[in-house]
Structure 1
């Protein structure tokens, strides 16, 4: 009679141990641990019910892409915001951590302002200041054989100069050099005065200096990626990768 309970107890403990080992490094746990480490430097954290309230239950969709969907909303103080609701979380959530930890601690007129974030289980969202004029790509690329929005050369020059200042700040103005790795017109947002703001830091990397660094695989969008990321025959990867991408952006503006 005494042996059976012991065997059942051992089986129960073994099953519990296996369960804990399987879930020890779940993506949501990894994200939570990293968020706890960086919480001093980060913006306000919102709960998912709060996200639903400030977006009016996701009433007004601004756009959608491979990352997820963007909804317009309003904070409790009345400020207009854009909420990026990320798609179903995969892997370790490193892109999400990059965005929160990188933008959350820097402030510059040409860098989009991250006002808050949400991380509950596998649900993740980023809250940005609202950019009423959208992204730069819709002003420089032809759609249906015509441009729907035309900007003067003077305005385009000011936008290009603002982007350059934002990149310079990322490379030289912070405690650590921040490499964006995805500079392109789609990731440049324009406020009501057409002041450009660099956005989308999901691929960003921190570097102690502007010197070269080692990457596993390439980062960025095809057409904007520096040759050094594709082949080491062109040299080592460094902050110049962002400069190359900015050069491609300038060619497209012209």
Structure 2
């Protein structure tokens, strides 16, 4: 590049100064220098202006682009963190499966675990090897309230004594619920069985199970953001894992309610014969609340305490003997006489029965809360007082109630009285 190419943009100024220089003998030398200074200043100003224009239309967009790129990188990184968080949450939340997924999980429904009025339960395995129990619900489910209740309640719960809902399927007419697999089945087969091989639960273990279920029920009532009323506590709905840890299951009849509201409004009773609280049948007994679950839990305790005695009661020609009534009379005699050896009733049975009888008081206001129940189960049996006799107990025979029946087939749907 020649010097001429360099100065070509300023050719006019150079020519002008050259002209002045040639004619400077006609003019003062000061004029030449003044013109040179003015031209240089103008050129510098023009150069600065050009640089500013270049900065305005080139460097500014580059700076803005760099700034946006940096913020976009930060945003993408933040989104990745959120995505990872949501994926972790999804690992703890119920997953939605297609019907083909259910077929794969159950290996085309190869191993059936049980059958009930709701449908069938099959053993399954997730891709990672995690064992599950798949409950296939009947196709005729009305408005699907049971399915919605199950997913909306148990789907938000993570507690050691509440069975975990792993996922669900809602595709066309197919409805399925996928639970964690509970290797030892339901509690009823252990407390009602006449087979000695099934009596693997000793008294200490039964008391531990009772306390664990009470803690789980207390969590449902008080530990969740929204209180959950189960409305179907019974041995059939208490499942045992491989370590015989109990977990509450089957939330098809459950109902959410704000914890600051003590009353629950329902248009129809829900529960199982033998475990349903009186106020769920008629509001003349009291208002529906968490105390309705306390009643059902009390009946569960009575079953756990007396499950081994049901066959023995026949020795008294008592096919019509109702265990809560029978045990209350025995305990009352023992308390009055202060002689705890007159009947073959051990401390374990006495404790469960005292707590159970407190829970099945007729009026909801007379029943303890689950917090109190937990405290009672942890207390010494002699410190527990025998509660008043519930209304159903009398010296007259009570109509026969087969406590070991399959209650899952005896669901109630009774419209409450409008009083």
Residue 42 of structure 1: how far off its partner (Å): 5.1
Return the match for 2:129 from 70, 78, 96.
78
1:139-167 Cα distance to aligned partner (Å, 9 max, x none): 0113xx54541110011011101100000
Return the match for 1:149 from 198, 211, 231.
198
Matched, 1:189 2:259: no
Residue 192 of structure 1: how far off its partner (Å): 0.6
Matched, 1:45 2:45: no
- Structure 1 residue ranges without an equivalent (≥5): 1-38
Contact 1:96 1:202 in 2 (8 A): yes
Contact 1:110 1:162 in 2 (8 A): yes
Aligned to 2:226: 176
Contact 2:136 2:175 in 1 (8 A): yes
1:86-139 Cα distance to aligned partner (Å, 9 max, x none): 111321101101101111111000000000000001100000000000000000
Contact 2:161 2:245 in 1 (8 A): yes
Return the match for 1:242 from 289, 293, 307.
293
Matches within 5 A, 1:1-254: 43-142=94-193, 145-150=194-199, 151-209=201-259, 211-254=262-305
If the length of structure 1 is used for normalisation, what is the TM-score?
Answer: 0.81
1:181-203 Cα distance to aligned partner (Å, 9 max, x none): 00000000000111100000000
Q: Matched residues in 1 for 2:110 and 2:136: separation?
A: 13
If the length of structure 2 is used for normalisation, what is the TM-score?
Answer: 0.50
Q: Matched residues in 2 for 1:174 and 1:242: separation?
A: 16
Higher percent of residues as strand: 1
Count of aligned residue pairs for this structure pair? 213
Contact 1:184 1:246 in 2 (8 A): yes
Higher percent of residues as helix: 2
SS at 2:272 equivalent: coil
Higher Rg:
2
Query: What is the RMSD computed on CA atoms of the aligned residues?
Result: 1.4
Q: Matched residues in 1 for 2:197 and 2:298: separation?
A: 24
Contact 1:180 1:242 in 2 (8 A): yes
Contact 1:110 1:166 in 2 (8 A): yes
Q: Matched residues in 1 for 2:107 and 2:298: separation?
A: 40
Residue 172 of structure 1: how far off its partner (Å): 0.2
Q: Matched residues in 1 for 2:299 and 2:132: separation?
A: 30
